[in-house]
């Protein structure tokens, strides 16, 4: 085998109905010097057997069978096994354009980037396509510009499956997924962007993300609301604290991201009895009241009128009740 340029890591679990299609789109990449690492995370169905059958016919494929530990655990196993110059990730039900790897790698090499990204489109269960407006331009960021982009998300998304990362860079900075945490993509990208000397982004849609109503990111708050709230507060607080230490002039951007999360959580809180999630409610309420200027100035981010925003600053409690009542009437 020639030098491996990219290791594509695909964690998979109970994916027997669609993993074959995903594997085949990677096999068709125009960049041939890649390896495909399939991490079977203890699937109880035939997912592991399907992965093994593809590996038997393509020397570029290696399969890791492990005890179920979640997506972050599976991705970490893939990182440790990767032999490529760069590593990238895919979800087990998505597909990519043939030039996905080629564009990512060429841009990374041309700009000597630690991180290289492309854009994506989203398709829901009904086949409806969204996120399909793109400039088809290439943008290059130094460290500070990259951190600003990571926080503001004006151009680049925060997903790991639209990016590749230089393997030596990942090893040097010990960049692994925090296991047991939800919203792992945003949390993972925190460390790379804080340490990358240069990153590059091509606003070209080369990845098709399949979105389902049952996706973990859309249903976790229904399954385990305390975990959802705890993990979200952990993520946005960690980012805010690290930005305050290293990039204090970008602190307002970190606060905007945390406030966005707070208003999303306030909506989730409206679905539950207040007593069951009181500690989280108090923390969210305190943070909103602590940042009145940003809440009012940046109200476009949470889609509120000036009057509604002022009300939220004065007391999030009536807002909480108002949302709950509105939700009840609508349901």
Instruction: Kindly give the confidence (pLDDT) of every residue in the chain, 331 residues in length, as a single tens digit, with 9 standing for 90 and above.
Output: 589 999 999 999 999 999 999 999 999 999 999 999 999 999 999 999 999 999 999 999 999 999 999 999 999 999 999 999 999 999 999 999 999 999 999 999 999 999 999 999 998 888 788 877 889 999 999 999 999 999 998 899 889 999 999 999 999 999 999 998 887 888 899 999 999 999 999 999 999 998 766 555 555 556 788 888 999 999 999 999 999 999 999 999 999 999 999 888 887 877 776 666 788 888 988 898 898 888 888 877 766 666 566 556 555 554 544 544 444 454 4
Asked if 94 and 10 count as a contact pair (C-beta separation under 8 A), the reply is: no
What's the token pair of residue 226?
């305390």
Distance of CA 326 to the CA centre of its chain: 30
Domain boundaries, the chain: 6-210, 216-330
Where does the chain have alpha helices with state H? 19-27, 47-57, 71-81, 100-110, 143-152, 167-172, 184-195, 216-223, 225-246, 251-269, 278-290, 292-297, 306-314, 316-330
| Segment (H or E) for 199 | strand 198-210
Query: CB under 8 Å to 45, separation ≥6 — which residues?
Result: 14, 15, 16
Angle CA(80)–CA(86)–CA(90) in degrees, nearest 5?
A: 75
CA Rg value for the chain: 21
Classify domain 6-210 at the CATH superfamily level: Spore Coat Polysaccharide Biosynthesis Protein SpsA; Chain A (3.90.550.10)
CA distance 35 to 73: 19
Cα–Cα distance measured from residue 167 to residue 134, given in angstroms and rounded to the nearest whole number: 28
């Amino acid at each position: 085998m020639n030098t491996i340029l990219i290791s594509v890591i695909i964690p998979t679990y109970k994916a027997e109905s669609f993993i074959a299609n995903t594997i085949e789109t990677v096999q068709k990449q125009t960049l041939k010097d890649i390896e495909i690492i399939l991490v079977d995370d203890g699937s109880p169905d035939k997912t592991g057997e399907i992965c093994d059958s593809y590996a038997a016919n393509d020397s570029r494929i290696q399969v890791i069978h492990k005890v179920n530990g979640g997506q972050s655990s599976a991705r970490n196993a893939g990182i440790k096994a990767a032999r490529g110059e760069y590593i990238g990730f895919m979800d087990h039900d998505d597909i990519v354009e043939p030039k996905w790897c080629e564009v990512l790698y060429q841009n990374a090499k041309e700009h000597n980037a630690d991180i290289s990204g492309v854009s994506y489109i989203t398709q829901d269960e009904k086949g409806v396509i969204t996120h399909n407006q793109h400039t088809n331009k290439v943008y290059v960021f130094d460290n500070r510009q990259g951190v600003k982009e990571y926080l503001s998300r004006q151009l680049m998304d925060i997903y790991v499956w639209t990016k590749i990362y230089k393997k030596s860079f990942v090893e040097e900075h010990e960049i692994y997924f925090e296991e047991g945490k939800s919203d792992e993509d945003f949390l993972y990208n925190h460390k790379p962007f804080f340490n990358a000397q240069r990153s590059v982004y091509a606003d070209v849609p080369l990845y098709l993300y399949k979105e389902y109503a049952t996706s973990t990111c859309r249903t976790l708050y229904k399954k385990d609301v305390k975990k959802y709230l705890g993990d979200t507060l952990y993520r946005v607080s960690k980012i805010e604290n690290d930005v305050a230490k290293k990039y204090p002039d970008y602190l307002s951007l970190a606060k905007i991201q945390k406030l966005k999360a707070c208003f999303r959580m306030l909506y989730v809180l409206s679905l539950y009895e207040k007593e069951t999630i009181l500690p989280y409610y108090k923390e969210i309420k305190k943070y909103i009241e602590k940042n009145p200027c940003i809440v009012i100035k940046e109200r476009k981010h949470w889609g509120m009128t000036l009057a509604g925003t002022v009300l939220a600053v004065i007391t999030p409690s009536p807002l909480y009740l108002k949302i709950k009542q509105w939700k009840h009437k609508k349901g």
